[in-house]
Every structure is written in structure tokens, then in C-alpha cells.
Amino acid sequence: MDQHIEGLPHYKDIKQNEFCYRKHKKQKEEDIAVCVCKFDANDNDSGCGEGCLNVLTSTECTPGYCPAGVHCRNQRFQKCEYARTKLFNTEGRGWGLLADENIKSGQFIIEYCGEVISWKEAKRRSHTYENQGLKDAYIISLNASESIDATRKGSLARFINHSCCPNCETRKWNVLGEIRVGIFAKQDISIGTELSYDYNFEWYGGAKVRCLCGASSCSGFLGAKSRGFLEDTYLWEDDDDRYSVEKIPLYDSAEDEPFVKLHTVLNNPYSEFEGYLKNENPMILDDNLGAEQQLVSTALIDTSKNSVQLQNIVVGEIKNEAKEEPEDHPQNTQQTFSQQNAMISRIRSNTACRNYRIGPGPAAKKRARNLTNGRTKNFTLKQVDAKYVARLLELKEAQEEVLQYEETKNKATSELDLLYNEIRPAIEEYERDSQDSVATSVAEKWIEASCLKLKAEFDLYSSIVRNVACTPLRSGVSTEPQPLEVDGDNDLKLLTN
Ligand SMILES: C[S@@+](CC[C@H](N)C(=O)[O-])C[C@H]1O[C@@H](n2cnc3c(N)ncnc32)[C@H](O)[C@@H]1O
């Protein structure tokens, strides 16, 4: 602790996050975002000001790579360019931090530093701290899987109190490949004013604490909309994806987001069959996907929900061990807010592979999910036997079409498998951080191959559905459902005759 102030509980002052459960990520050269700024002594905005491409995407310039060189002003986290602040004792809210100089709207004030820990560890520590009688909570969420704990080690940002009408906000920045949290001024703040931000979304406090911010719009409790608060209030499932990375906002407020429109550009096209499974009719694409994500199929699609019922062809089946109940969470409003705020930034596009599931193509066909009622639901994808289907069809053209699509699908699957072998060494070497260790160029190839495979599968299935529904079946061929067997991979398959 640098400041020797009487009565201040002990903690270690740090200027950089510490990583206890994983290594600090190493930024790969190909992932370094280089802007086009040049320094011009006559131009105040030169040297990475507001117009800098990196600034616009909340990415700090990497020293040695920025064209503005020593004049680059976009390394504020790295250089600890903090505003002057001072600790003071509040009434009823413990210690607080105030501005010790006039601060301009939008100014970076200080980084929220602490120990970067997993979400599970955050929950564990939070309960431990509570049991130890610690009244103040210092854990904030970094992303869906990690938190920053400033309880034992942290920066002065740990002393900033909550307000329902705050003058600061948190913003997440990509600094040398790691996401870091900064406190930024929402408005001009004059010297001597207490700094505050809204703990909503950020705060993980065990016990519910009455808010004493005094704002007329006060929500009553600290972090009333935070994940931690909601988890305490509602049953939280391990597999609940309401707060997946995509849904966590980078900014507190929508107007701060420079590229909200980019939202649709790069969501996860590798959602594989889940898009199909969402709909009862496997041929209907997810309406929620952006046009960019919907692969254009060369097969004709009958999107009518009332199309002919298939009696013995199973394209993709959801096996429910428990009936899924419609969810009606009070958090829906917050979820909508989070989704609206979700931003695709260069943070993601630089490291595209991180957002895609990388693994061998045909794997993971059977998945189990916990339902909100605590029971498990198994998703089982059955393989279609295209040759068997083709034999059922009367018309030669229809048979050939199905078989041709099957061949294309098999080729696409092999391509993906080959690519996986290229990636495997990196995955085996790094295990946990596997996806980060894959070069961007390979990840891009992977995404392309995955998309081609998805498209090939889609074309095959739509061809099957269309032909079985619209062309006559051969007489004498049994259309009774075929027996099922479990193959070596535990996947259910239709038997060939
Ligand atoms: C991150 S710490 C802030 C610094 C803290 N006041 C201290 O003395 O270390 C968060 C804790 O401060 C207190 N706190 C912050 N804002 C508050 C508010 N608006 N009303 C009541 N207590 C507050 C709560 O005890 C909360 O757990």
C-alpha cells in the first residue's frame, strides 16, 4: 500500500492486473492493430487522437508499431496516464475517491486493477470474504468468464463508490491483447468532486447492500442489475448463456459505442446445427441471424411450416429427457439492453479464432444441457443415410441430386478434418488457451471451411427434404422407420438396408 492513511484497511497497490489462474496473453505480431496516424506538430489531433483507428475501436497502440512513434497518445493504460485523485472518508459509504484536478468529459481517470480470476473463483472468493465479515466488495466482472478482484491487490479505482447517477463509467479496452477496465469521466468533473460509477453489470457483491448514493433515481441496492446480484436473487445455472461474452457490453451506455452497427457483422457463424435445432423445421434459418451470417444455399428451400411430414427421415432431432419450459426471466430487459450494447470490435476481429469453437469437425454431436429446472436435456444429431434416402426416390434426377450433395458434404467434412490436423499441434501444446495459440490466418481458413461444411450439410438436408416431400417414392421400398443403433461414437445412425 503506497498511501499511509490512518484507518485505511491494508491492501497492495498495483498498477497492472495480476494473473493468478492463467498466464498473461502474449500479443501475436499478426494481431497487432496498426493505425495510420502520423504526428504533425500543427495538428492537435495527430498522434493518435480521437480519429485514430485504434482509438475508435478501443484498442491501445502497440509501442514500436504505431506510426506516430513517441508521439502516440493512445497508450494511456500502458503508461498509467491517470488523472489526479485523492482518497477521502465518506459518510456511511466507507472510503471514496475524489477528483484532485478538473477532469474533462471522456477523460481516462484510472484503471481498475486487481487480480484476474475465473468467474467460479470470483464466486468462491466472494463467499469467503462475506464469511470473513468483509463489508466492502471489490470484485467486478471483466467478461463472461473472468473477474477482477481488487480486494487484496488493486489500484485506487477500488475506492470509487457506486452512484445511481454517476459522473464516471467503466470502459473496456484491448491493451496488448488483454481486455482491461478503465474508469472514464462521463461529464466534466470539477476538482474536489467525488468520483462514482454505476456498479450495475460490473459488481459482484455477496450480500445485498442498501445504496446510499442519494440520487433521486436510486435503485435501492448496489449493483441491482449486476450478474452477481441476479445470481443471488435467481437460480443460476452453470450452463446459462444469458451473459455470454457476446452479451456483455463493452460500454456502460449505447451512445459511447463507436461501432454499434458492426454488431451484425461477425457474430458466430459456427453455431453449427443449433440454428436448425432452434426451429422445429430444420430447414428454417434463424431469423435472428444477420443476412451476412445466413449462408446462401444453392438448394431450393421449402420454408412452409406445413410442408409434408417426413415419416422416416430424421435430419436433426432434439431428444428431450425433460420437457423444456418457456423461460420468462425478469432479467430479460437487462438481456435486451446487453444485447443492444454488444459490440463487435477489432478486439474480436483481430482474434477471430477466439470466438469460434475449434475442434474436429464431426465431433460433439451429442450435447447435454442443464435446463432451468435442474434436469438435463440431450441434443442428439442423427446422421442421415443419404444413400438409403436416394434409394427411396423414384426419379433418377432426384437420386443423383441427393448423392451429389452428399459427396460435396463429405468433401467439405474432410477439408475441415485436414485443417484440424494443422491446428492440432498448437492446441495440444497450449491446451487451455488453445484457440489463442492458433494463427489468425489458420483461424480464418478454419472459419471458411466450417462455413462451407455447414452450407454443404444444409444443401444436402434441404435436398433430401424437398425430394422426399415432392417426388414420388419408389414402390416396393419400405418407408417404415428404420431401426436405430448406437455406433462407436455413441451417435445414433439410421441403418442401411
Ligand atoms: C469498491 S468498494 C468502494 C470503496 C469502499 N467504500 C471502501 O471503503 O473501500 C465497494 C463498497 O463500498 C460501499 N459502497 C459503495 N458505494 C456505495 C453506496 N452508494 N451506498 C452504500 N455503500 C456503498 C459498499 O460497502 C461496497 O461494497
Using the atom order of ligand 1, give the atom closest to the CA of residue 97.
4
Confidence of residue 120 (pLDDT cuts 50, 70, 90): confident
User: Ligand 1 in contact with 159 (CB < 6 A)?
Assistant: yes
Task: Take residue 300 and report the three cell numbers written for it.
Answer: 431450393
User: Ligand 1 in contact with 209 (CB < 6 A)?
Assistant: yes
- What pLDDT was estimated at residue 326? 40
More confident residue, 113 or 461: 113
pLDDT tens by residue, 378-411: 444 556 788 888 888 888 888 899 999 999 998 8
Domain map (residue ranges) of the chain: 12-233, 270-331+347-494
Q: Read off the pTM.
A: 0.53
Q: Which of 218-222, 365-369, 478-482 has the weakest average pLDDT?
A: 365-369
ipTM of the complex: 0.99
User: Ligand 1 in contact with 211 (CB < 6 A)?
Assistant: yes
pLDDT tens by residue, 2-58: 456 788 889 999 999 999 888 888 889 999 999 999 888 888 778 999 899 999 999
Percent of the chain at pLDDT above 70?
57
Span from the CA of 191 to the centroid of ligand 1 (angstroms): 21
Question: Which residue, 314, 240, 324, is CA-closest to 278?
Answer: 324
Span from the CA of 222 to the centroid of ligand 1 (angstroms): 8
- What pLDDT was estimated at residue 390? 87
Are the C-beta atoms of residues 25 and 178 closer than 8 Å to each other?
yes
| Residue 338 CA to its chain's centroid (Å) | 11
User: Ligand 1 in contact with 136 (CB < 6 A)?
Assistant: yes
pLDDT tens by residue, 46-66: 899 989 999 999 999 999 999
Using the atom order of ligand 1, give the atom closest to the CA of residue 90.
6
Using the atom order of ligand 1, give the atom closest to the CA of residue 164.
19
Using the atom order of ligand 1, give the atom closest to the CA of residue 205.
27
Span from the CA of 184 to the centroid of ligand 1 (angstroms): 18
pLDDT tens by residue, 251-281: 544 544 444 333 333 333 333 323 322 333 3
Does residue 79 have a pLDDT over 60? yes
- What pLDDT was estimated at residue 367? 47
Q: How far apart are the first and last CA of the chain?
A: 76
Span from the CA of 135 to the centroid of ligand 1 (angstroms): 8
Are the C-beta atoms of residues 297 and 458 closer than 8 Å to each other?
yes
Question: Which residue, 410, 411, 413, 406, is CA-closest to 450?
Answer: 413
- CATH of span 12-233: 2.170.270.10
Confidence of residue 424 (pLDDT cuts 50, 70, 90): low
Are the C-beta atoms of residues 181 and 17 closer than 8 Å to each other?
no
Span from the CA of 136 to the centroid of ligand 1 (angstroms): 6
Span from the CA of 219 to the centroid of ligand 1 (angstroms): 15
If DSSP states are collapsed to H, E and C, what string results for 223-273?
A: CCCCHHHHHHHCCCCCCCCCCCHHHCCCECCHHHCCCHHHHHCCCCCCCCC
- CB count within 10 Å of CB 142 equals 24
Using the atom order of ligand 1, give the atom closest to the CA of residue 163.
19
Question: Which residue, 346, 464, 319, 352, is CA-closest to 405?
Answer: 464
Collapsing DSSP to helix, strand or coil, 166 comes out as coil
User: Ligand 1 in contact with 313 (CB < 6 A)?
Assistant: no
Question: Which residue, 156, 111, 137, is CA-closest to 228?
Answer: 137
Task: Take residue 379 and report the three cell numbers written for it.
Answer: 441434443
Span from the CA of 90 to the centroid of ligand 1 (angstroms): 10
Span from the CA of 119 to the centroid of ligand 1 (angstroms): 21
